[in-house]
Amino acid sequence: MLIRILAVGLAAGFSLGGSLVSAAPVSLTEVVKQAIDTNPDVQAAWREFLEAEQNVKIARSGYLPKVDVTASSSLVRRNYGLDQSYVSNEARISVTQMLYDGFFTSSEVKRLESAKKVRFLELLNQVEQISLEVATAYSDVLLYRELLLVAEDNLKTHVDVYKQIEKSAAAGVARRADLEQISGRLYLAESNVMTEQSNLHDVSSRFLRLTGFRPPAELEPVDNLINAEIPLSMEESLLEAYKRNPGFLASWYNVNSTNYGIDSAKSRYHPTLNLVGSYGSQSRDEAGLDNTQTEGQIGLQFSYNLYNGGADRASIRAALAVTDQAKDLRDKSCRDVRQTVQIAYNDIRNLDRQIPALNEHRLSSSRVRTAYLDQFKIGDRTLLDLLDSENEAYESGRAYTEAVFTQYKAILRLMAGSGELAEYLTVTRDEFDLTEAIRLSEAVYDPMYVCPAETIDVMSQETNILIRDTDGDGITDLWDECPDTPFDTAVDDFGCATQQQNTGDIIGVKHQSEVVIPFGADSAELDPKYLVKLEPMLDTLGKDPAAGVVVYGHASLEGESHYNMMLSVRRANAVADWLKVQSGSNEQRISAIGLGEDKPLINDISPEANLANRRVEAVVVVLNSSIDSPEYIN
C-alpha cells in the first residue's frame, strides 16, 4: 500500500502542472510539491526503488521451478545405412525444481528485500533534502527581495540628500567638500543596490535549477515557521532525529542487507540438490531408421563443489568487507545527523536571543536617523552625522532582516535533519509510515553507542561574558554592580541587595480584585500592552486609603530554582514599582513577593507550561496593623 501510494504520487504528480502561475501569492508548500514532482534527483531515486523492487522478484524466482524446452530439426546425409539422407526431428521439455541450495535463494531474497527498504528510505531522504533545498531557496528569494528594497530605500534617501546639498552648494551655502562627500556615499548606495540585485539573481537561478520554473512574482511569507514546534533541548532533537531521519535509517538497513550478502556467499560451501524431470521425443532412432522414440525421466540431482580455486573464500571475505564498510557509513551518517541537528538547534536558540537585540538596534538607529535628519535641516547636525546615521540605519535594518531569515533557514535545517520537513510541508502522505523501520532499526543498533546525543558548550557559564553570573543573583556580571551578593539575597536591577519589600499588614482580599500579567522567557521587563489591566488597581488605591496591593512574582520550572526565585522577585518589583510611580503610594501600601517555582499553574516543563507559569499576580488587599505576616492569597 505504501509503495503504491508513492508510485501514484510520483507518476501522476501533485496536480500542479508544469509551472506555477497564479495571481495569488504562491505558498512554500506548493513550490516544494512542484519541485519534488519534477526534480531529476527525486525521479532518479524513484527509478532506483523500482529497480530494487524488481530485483526482489528476480531473487524470489529461485524458489520456483525452471522449465526449459528444446527442439531441433536437422538434415542428415551419410554414406552408410539404409537411409543415407533424411530429416531428423527432436524435442525435449525439462523441469528443474531447487530443493536445497545452501540457503542461497533465501539469503538473496532477504538481502534484496532489505535493499529495497534502503532504496525506499533513500527516496524519502531525497524528498527531504530537495524539500530543504527548495525551502532554503524560497527563503533566500524572499530575503534578497527584502534586502533589495532596503538598499533601494537607502539609495532614495541618499539621492534626496544629494539634491539638497547640490542646491545648497550651487547657492553658495554648502561647502563643495560636502557635495563630494555625499557623492561618494551616493555611489556606495548605488553599489549596494547592484550587489543586492546580483544576489537576488543568483538565488533566483538556484530556485530555477531546483524547481524548474522562475520564482513567482508573489511568494507567501514564511513567518509560520516560527510557530513550528521546536524541542525543548538539543538532546531531545537528536533523539528524534535518530528515530526519524530517513537517510540515517537507510544506513541501518544497508548493514542488514550486507549481512545477508555474507550468508549468500557462505552458501557456496553447501551442496545443491535439485529435482529434475524431463520428457523427450525424436523421429529417428540411434541407427537413423525412421523409428520414433520417446523418453521420460525424473530424479534427484546432487552437486557439491570440492575446489573452486579459492573463489568461495574470497567471496566471503569480500562480503565481510562490504558489511564493515556499511557499518562505517552508518556511523558516519549518525555523526553527520548529529552535527546538522546540533548546529541548527544552536543557531535557532542563539538567534532567539540575538533577534530582539538586533530589532532594538534597528528601531533605535531608525529613530536616530529621523532625529538627525530633522536636526540637519535646521543646521544642528553636520552632513557627516547625517550620513553616518543613515548608514547605521541601513546596516542595522539589513542585519535584522538577515538574522530573521537565518533563523527561518535554521528551523528548516533542524526539521530536515529530524526527518520532519516534508511532513510539515504536507508533501508526503500519511501512508508513509516508518513505524516498522524505526522498530526494527532500534532492535539492531543503538546510535547512542556511536554518536550519543551530547550538547557542546563552547563557553561555560564561567567563561561566557554574556551569561556569567558569579553570585547567582540573576544579574550577569557585565551589569552587576555588586557581583559578590550572598546566595539567595533579593537584589535590585543592578544586582545589589535590597530588602524584601514589606508587604504591609493584610487582613484579606479587597473587592476580590486580581490581575495576572504574563512575562517573557528569562525576562523581568513589563510589557506596556498589559498596563491597561493594572489601571483598575490604580483607581482603587486612589479612592480607598485602606486598600493595598500585593504583587506575587512567579517563574517557570525550567532552570535553576535559586535563579528563578531571583527572577520572580524582579518581576514582582517591576509591577510594584510601576504601581508606586503611577499611584504615588508609599512603600507600605504596595508590596512585592517573589515565589519562584512554588506556585506553578501547570506543574510541568513544556512550552505551554512555561508560558503559563511566567507571570505576576497582583491582588488588592485591606491593610491592618494587627497582622504581622501575610499569606499567599489566591
Are residues 203 and 351 both part of a single domain? yes
Using CA atoms, how far apart are residues 472 and 347, in angstroms rounded to an integer?
Answer: 26
Please give the model's pTM, rounded to 2 decimal places: 0.69
Confidence at residue 488, expressed as pLDDT on a 0 to 100 scale: 64
Q: What residues pair up with 92 in beta bridges, in sequence order?
A: 70, 280
Contact 30, 14 (CB under 8 A): no
Number of structural domains the chain divides into:
3
Residues of the chain below pLDDT 50: 1-18, 429-435, 437-439, 442-443, 500-507, 511-512, 625-634
**pLDDT tens digits, one per residue of 120-165:** 999 999 999 999 999 999 999 999 999 999 999 989 988 988 888 7
Q: 274, 300 in Cβ contact below 8 A? A: yes
Give residue-wise pLDDT tens across range 38-47.
888 888 999 9
Rg for the chain, CA atoms, rounded: 39
Task: Mark whether 414 and 356 lie in a shared domain.
Answer: yes
Among 409, 424, 449, which residue terminates a domain? 449
Taking the C-alpha atoms of 405, 407, 413 and 419 in order, what is their torsion angle to the nearest 10 degrees? -110
Q: Are residues 90 and 110 both part of a single domain?
A: no
- Is there a single domain that holds both residue 439 and residue 527? no
The answer to whether residues 79 and 117 belong to one domain is: no
Both 17 and 150 in one domain: the answer is: yes
Mean pLDDT (the chain, rounded): 82
Q: What is the CATH number of the domain that holds 281?
A: 2.20.200.10
- Does 265 reside within a domain? no
Same domain, 422 and 515: no
Cβ-contact 537, 514 below 8 angstroms:
no
Residues 140 and 70 in one domain: no
Q: What is the pLDDT of residue 67?
A: 95
Contact of 162 with 124, CB cutoff 8 Å: no
334-387 pLDDT, tens digit per residue, is 889 999 999 999 888 888 888 888 888 888 888 888 888 888 878 788 888 888
Distance of alpha carbon 387 from alpha carbon 423, whole angstroms: 48
Contact call for residues 385 and 369 (beta carbons, < 8 A): no
Q: CA–CA distance from 419 to each of 229, 437, 446, 465 (Å)?
A: 14, 13, 18, 36
Query: Which residue segment(s) compose the domain that 425 sits in?
Result: 2-62+105-259+315-449
Place of cell 543592578: 494
At 239 the pLDDT is 85
Shared-domain flag, residues 67 and 167: no
Residues 519, 441, single domain; the answer is: no
